[in-house]
Chains A and B, each alone.
Chain A
């Protein structure tokens, strides 16, 4: 491969093939990664559609520059590498070419800037009238969700109706956390001492949860601070609201009754609220009124099954390092009772 005539063409062709193949493999891996549960590349709301429109433009511009520069780098390396009997051409630059090339990054930047600005305007606009208000509060290491207009308080699993804007006020009870549901809304931080906002209108109801997790490092168990968003049909959402507003189920069996007593005896009531249980009015931990109806516990770390509850109750800090809920040193019998009780809180 040489620096003139056919050699030059071979060098460029060879480089194009090499870079082309590498880029194509990267693209396949990219597409493959886009098809994952917590993907940032599967917009399911107006907010993420706005983002995605820009993202695609930016992505393809980036891809073109990537391919172009890599081909040139490789081709020049092959074309101009040391050869007996040749000398380097001595020149200090080319002002005309440099001036023309200056336009290339300028044009790319403008092409990214215009759609970016449009998306900023869209996503920071005020939420539409009639949006469902939610207050999301970040705690080390779980999410609290309040619905002021419905009077509902829940944790780690956010239910919203499809097709209606959801306006979320973001707060923090301790350090900085970040609210991010990759398929529904780009992240906005939960700042202590400040109130942030975001809104989105989910467009697809489904049974599977939209996965999410805290996106700002917030201490020992940052990795274990996850949450789920359920986008329900209107009918389903109304049913969920009604069920969630109701008091906790009354104990029906002996073991559940024993579990309710244990819930008091072990001091759980000091930190957790169970609506309908007059002594369980604690506010430090998640509201457990309908914990039995959630799909996961411990902010999405364990499945909400007897096994999961057992694992959690045996030693919370082992599941979630730094957990504010201490190891209560419960006996096997006590764990059985509590598991039965918590499971009954549908």
Chain B
């Protein structure tokens, strides 16, 4: 019984749901991440739409202060931790093995566990709405506003527990990704032949491995402060609210690059393929990405210029922050250099990638502007910063993700999304995005602070707030059109073929969707653009051997059980010790089963 190994054999007949629940296939897990991430993207979008509806006119009455504060907090948490990061992880999962010519990630069961744990964290965080106690102190959750004295209800406990668990998932998946990229490359796939997307993935994995422990410590401390009477962040009892800010931003700033680097990677794949020429300045773009990652750890206090840092720290963090503008600038030049001289196929993926270059540049420029502490004294906590982060995260991260969705959808499903509908949707999202976020620069300039649920007429804020709200509804139409496109596409027969774009990287050398083992024969890599190299040098993929003896890891339900155990521990941390104890038992059972699961 060569195939029926592990707790669950390959040969048993199982229902579809059970197959997905026990899968350890990186492609299925990637799809789960993508569906989950996109669903939370819609949730975060609804939260944003409500927030903007409240602000459409002065003294709005759609939401009250309490609900508004929950919604803007949950909008940020949902988008950052449950939408953009999981969608990034979705593509990582799906395409790391395909890009490097491997059969799966290094630790397939750990990979499944990461997903179930992330889902648990997301459910805990979002379920807070059903208890009427969603976190309401901003995603940054500055102490002492988050301490029991000022936030007596459970909202901030949902925050600490939910983020702790989501962070656990990211930590596990990051280790998995880093190990996979470093160790499981196909023959000939040297580090400097890795697709840029893989480099960005590797940088992101290290950013998370190094920064997540910091926020984890802070979350535990906050949980202890709130529940066990410690005083890590309470002034007057030996604690210090500034400590929270340092811990939060030592994580929080690298986190921004965690959100943007994957999209930079996607654009670095899409633009050369669509321009039909190699990436301009591969080495520079890789080194720029890596140095953004390194510098990203030395700039956190620019979020704290107004906290009374003192003179010299302002010099230091101002200089380091501005320095990040240099590698970022290099990347922008290289993307433009990639387009130069090309024969650019204007697909929807191209549209989103070019939009990324333009919009991310705007966000990058405004970022350098408030790297100047004096200017930051006027920008900090104003709508100018809201404009900035949305140009980076929507204009950057989300545009890149949409580009990736259109680019890789045919590989993942065998079907091409409708290009015409995609282009209409693009214009809605592009125009809506700019109408929403560009006016926020004007509002910031006019002195409008962020995170206010209401404002008076007569401050010159009416027009642009109204325009921004109109913009959101236009984005909503654009996103709806994307969903229509997806449903339409699933109703038609597969039409994509293996390589609809003329791709350069290894995922295009296999079928769409790829078989469970990815490649019938492990590819040999001779160039940075292996598929193009083989095409130009007449190297044909070796025939599929008559008898495939490929060992793939068997499905297992222990990752799911372990995930449920962690979920129970989390729920127990919010309710009763008994549930936590039950969770510990489940975790122990799952670890036991996991350890003894036969793998050969």
Q: Is B329 an interface residue (CB 8 A)?
A: yes
Bound form: Cα–Cα A94–B455 in Å? 52
Asked whether A38 lies within 8 Å of B447 as measured between CB atoms, the reply is: yes
B598 cross-chain contacts in A, Cβ below 8 A: none
Contact A124 B378 (CB under 8 A): no
Contact: B354 with A77, CB < 8 Å?
A: yes
Return the CB mask of A54-71 against B: 1 if under 8 Å, else 0: 110011001001100110
Contact among B144, B444, B458 for A174, CB-based, below 8 A? B144
Q: Which residues of B contact A197 (CB under 8 A)?
A: 308
Chain A minimum-CB-distance residue to B142: A176
B375 CB to nearest chain A CB (Å): 5
Q: Out of A3, A36, A119, A170, name the residue touching B374 (CB < 8 Å).
A: A119
- Taking a contact as CB atoms under 8 Å apart, the answer to whether A113 and B318 are in contact is yes
Contact B281 A219 (CB under 8 A): no
Among candidates B65, B279, B446, residue contacting A321 with C-beta atoms closer than 8 Å: B65
> Does chain B have a CB within 8 A of A211?
yes
- Contact A36-B307, Cβ < 8 Å, known A80-B340, A83-B343: no
Q: Which residues of A contact B380 (CB under 8 A)?
A: 178, 187, 215
B373 at the binding interface (Cβ < 8 Å)? yes
- Known A217-B451, A221-B65; judge A98-B142 contact (CB<8 A): no
Say yes or no: is B443 at the interface (Cβ < 8 Å to chain A).
Answer: yes
B493 in the interface, Cβ–Cβ < 8 Å? no
Contact of A76 among B325, B339, B366, B447 (CB under 8 A): B339
Q: A104 to B203, alpha carbons, bound, how many Å? A: 25
Across-interface contacts of A38 in B (CB, < 8 A):
446-448, 459-460
Give the contact stretch, choosing among A25-33, A201-209, A261-269.
A25-33
Interface pair A217/B145, CB less than 8 Å apart: yes
User: Can you give 9 contacting A-B residue pairs, CB < 8 Å?
Assistant: A33-B445, A37-B458, A40-B379, A83-B343, A105-B326, A121-B311, A123-B377, A174-B144, A178-B380
Given A29-B442, A30-B442, A38-B446, A124:B372 Cβ within 8 A: no
Residues facing B in A134-170 (CB within 8 A) are 140, 170
Q: How close is A23's CB to chain B, nearest CB, in angstroms?
A: 11
How far is A32 from B442 in the complex, measured between Cα atoms in Å? 9
Q: Is B137 an interface residue (CB 8 A)?
A: yes
| A69-B332 in contact given A80-B344, A191-B242 (Cβ < 8 Å) | yes
Compute how far the CA of A70 lies from the CA of B434 in the bound complex, rounded to whole angstroms.
14
Q: Does A284 contact B (CB under 8 A)?
A: no
**Known: A29-B442, A178-B306, A193-B236. Is A36-B447 also a contact (CB below 8 A)?**
yes
Instruction: Enumerate chain B interface residues (CB-CB to A < 8 A).
Output: 64-66, 69, 137-138, 142, 144-145, 150, 235-236, 239-242, 275-284, 306-308, 310-311, 314-315, 318-319, 322-323, 325-326, 328-330, 332-334, 336-337, 339-346, 354, 357-358, 361-362, 365-366, 368-369, 371-382, 438-439, 441-455, 458-461, 464
Q: Across the two chains, which residue of chain B brings its CB closest to A122?
A: B374
A170 to B371, CA, bound (A): 24
The answer, yes or no, to whether A192 is at the interface (CB within 8 Å) is: yes
Q: Are B449 and A215 within 8 A (Cβ)? A: yes
- Would B460 and A36 count as touching, CB distance under 8 A? yes
B63 CB, min distance to chain A CBs, angstroms: 11
Which residues of the other chain, B, contact A86 by a CB distance below 8 angstroms?
Answer: 343
> Given contacts A37-B460, A93-B281, A186-B378, is CB(A217)–CB(B340) below 8 Å?
no
The listed residue (B144, B342, B368, B382) touching A88 by CB distance below 8 A is B342
CB distance from A97 to the nearest CB of B (A): 8
- Assess whether A41 is interfacial by the CB under 8 Å rule: yes
A192 and B278 contact, CB distance less than 8 A = no
A245 at the interface (CB under 8 A from B): no
B368:A116 contact, CB within 8 angstroms: no
Q: Given known contacts A120-B314, A213-B449, A215-B306, what 6 new A-B pairs fall within 8 Å (CB)?
A: A72-B336, A119-B374, A186-B376, A187-B306, A187-B377, A217-B138
Q: Are the CB atoms of B138 and A87 closer together than 8 Å?
A: no
A108 contacts chain B at the CB level, 8 A cutoff: yes
Residues of B within 8 A of A192 (CB): 144, 235-236, 241
Tell me the minimal C-beta distance from B67 to chain A in angstroms.
Answer: 10
User: B65, A33: Cβ atoms under 8 Å?
Assistant: no
Q: How far is the CB of B70 from chain A (nearest CB, A)?
A: 11
- CB-based contact A102/B330 at 8 Å: yes
Q: Decide if A252 is an interface residue (CB 8 Å cutoff).
A: no
B73 to chain A, nearest CB (A): 9
In the assembled complex, the CB of B560 is this many whole angstroms from the nearest CB of chain A, namely 38
Assembled-state Cα–Cα distance A192/B242 (Å) = 9
The 8 closest A-B pairs by CB, nearest first: A186-B377, A193-B235, A36-B460, A38-B447, A105-B329, A223-B452, A89-B341, A116-B372
Contact A223 B454 (CB under 8 A): yes
Contact residues in A for B144 (Cβ distance below 8 Å) = 174-176, 192
Q: Which residues of B contact A196 (CB under 8 A)?
A: 307-308
Give Cα A308–Cα B455 distance, bound, in whole angstroms. 17
- Interface centre among B329, B330, B375, B442, by most chain A C-beta atoms within 10 angstroms, is B375
Chain A residues engaging chain B, CB cutoff 8 angstroms: 3, 26, 29-30, 32-41, 50-51, 54-55, 58-59, 62, 65-66, 69-70, 72-74, 76-77, 80-83, 86-94, 97-98, 101-102, 104-106, 108-109, 112-113, 115-117, 119-121, 123-124, 140, 170, 174-176, 178, 180, 182, 185-189, 191-194, 196-197, 211, 213-224, 321-322
Task: Return the contact of A82 from the options B282, B330, B344, B453 (Cβ within 8 A).
Answer: B344
Q: How far is the CA of A123 from the CA of B453 in the complex (A)?
A: 31
Using known A-B contacts A189-B306, A219-B150, determine if residue A36 contacts B459 with beta carbons closer than 8 Å: yes
The answer to whether A220 touches B66 (Cβ under 8 A) is yes
Most buried by A among B310, B374, B454: B374
Task: Give the chain B neighbours of A94 by CB distance below 8 A.
Answer: 280-281, 337
The reply to whether B372 and A76 contact each other, CB–CB distance below 8 Å, is no
What's the nearest-Cβ distance from chain B to residue A11, in Å?
12
- Measured CB to CB, the closest approach of chain A to B21, in angstroms, equals 40
The dominant DSSP class at the A interface is mixed
Instruction: List the A side residues contacting B449 at CB < 8 Å.
Output: 180, 213-215
Query: Complex: how many Å from CA A65 to CA B450?
Result: 26
CB–CB B460/A223 < 8 A: no
Give which listed residue, B283, B329, B382, contacts A40 with CB less than 8 A: B382
In the complex, the answer to whether B241 meets A105 with C-beta atoms within 8 Å is no
Contact A113 to B374, CB < 8 A, known contacts A39-B446, A62-B366, A80-B343: no
CA distance A215 to B383 in the complex (A): 11
Q: Known: A40-B382, A188-B308. Is A88-B275 also a contact (CB below 8 A)?
A: yes
Instruction: State whether B69 touches A220 (Cβ < 8 A).
Output: yes
Report Cα–Cα, A3/B368, bound state, in Å.
33
B459 partner, pick from A37, A106, A178, A216, beta carbons under 8 A: A37
Residues of B within 8 A of A54 (CB): 372, 374-375
Whole-angstrom distance between the Cβ of B500 and the nearest chain A Cβ:
15
A74 proximity list for chain B (CB < 8 A): 358
Least CB separation from A188: chain B residue: B306
Residue of B145, B315, B346, B380 most packed against chain A (CB within 10 A): B145
Instruction: Please give me the residue from chain B that is nearest to A58 by CB atom.
Output: B369
Chain A residues near B358 (CB-CB < 8 A): 69-70, 73-74
Taking CB atoms, residues of chain A closer than 8 Å to B142 are 175-176, 216-217
Q: Which of A34, A51, A187, A223 is the one whose CB lies under 8 Å from B445?
A: A34
In the complex, what residues of B have CB within 8 A of residue A101's CB? 329-330, 333
Tell me how far the C-beta of A303 lies from the nearest C-beta in chain B, rounded to whole angstroms. Answer: 11
Contacting pair B345 A82 (CB below 8 A) = yes
Contact of B373 among A34, A73, A120, A322 (CB under 8 A): A120
A62, B311: Cβ atoms under 8 Å?
no
Which residues on the B side are within 8 Å of A322 (C-beta)?
A: 65-66
Q: Are the C-beta atoms of A191 and B372 separated by less than 8 Å?
A: no
From A26, A119, A193, name the one whose CB has the most chain B CB atoms within 10 angstroms: A193
Smallest Cβ distance from A55 to chain B, in angstroms?
5
Of A113, A185, A189, A217, which one neighbours B322 at CB under 8 angstroms?
A: A113
Contact B307 A191 (CB under 8 A): yes
B455 / chain A contacts, CB cutoff of 8 Å:
223
Given contacts A37-B459, A80-B275, contact A106 B66 (CB under 8 A): no
How far apart sit A115 and B376, CA to CA, in the bound complex (Å)? 14
Q: Roughly how many angstroms separate A32 CA and B281 CA in the complex, as a whole number?
A: 42
